[in-house]
Structure 1
Amino acid sequence: MVLDNLAGHLTPAFVLWLFEHGIIPLYTPLGASWLNMAESIQRIIERRALEGQHPQNPAEIIEWLEAATRGWNRQPTPFIWGGKRRPALPQSPTALRPRRLRRLYLPPDPAAQDRT
């Protein structure tokens, strides 16, 4: 089973349960959220089922999500990822330091300090 690195997917109890049921967990790499297609499809189904709606209880939400999924399954369309990445924001000098160094406390860069 392919999973993202959500904290609940990493608990010992959950991982043991998977193994007890013959399921081997495989995790998407950290920083690779675009590999998690479930979230993209989930957003589409939520939008189709719930946009403009005002559910009164959880059962209504479940019913609408299931109806949207059944409708999509009756007339399936291919999922084509056409997302556009946002331009990267300018990074601070600290953000440009190697990740392994950022985990340690690093004093401010003396060259960047105003000397009086």
Structure 2
Amino acid sequence: MTQPICDSYEEFWPYYVAMHSRAATRWVHLTGTLTGLALSAYGLARGRKRYAAALPLIGYGTAWPAHFLIEGNNPASFGHPVWSLRGDVRMIRTMLAGRDHELAATAAKWLAENG
């Protein structure tokens, strides 16, 4: 599936969620991002600046394979890196708020209309 042309982040958001239609993909993203964030914070608190690399390495290192292996698609970050990062934060925040079902509904709706 090719990425749609989006003129705004709000247009991009439903597509981004649809590229994470399976709960397993969303949970891999959450786990990788939070693990990378925790290691980065730990390292920086200890004065080890190289630990800052943990966030992108672990975050993307777990998320991208999930797209290929679980979703069977390409990461949205390949076409829209800044909007994808913003989407990842929003998706994780939504999940941590206990509203993963909203993401599943958004993905299903976008895929039904565009898939």
Smaller-chain TM-score bracket: under 0.3
Q: Which has the higher helix share?
A: 2
Higher relative contact order (CA 8 A, sep 6+): 2
Q: Which has the larger radius of gyration?
A: 1
- TM-score normalised by length of structure 1: 0.25
- Using the size of structure 2 for normalisation, the TM-score is 0.25
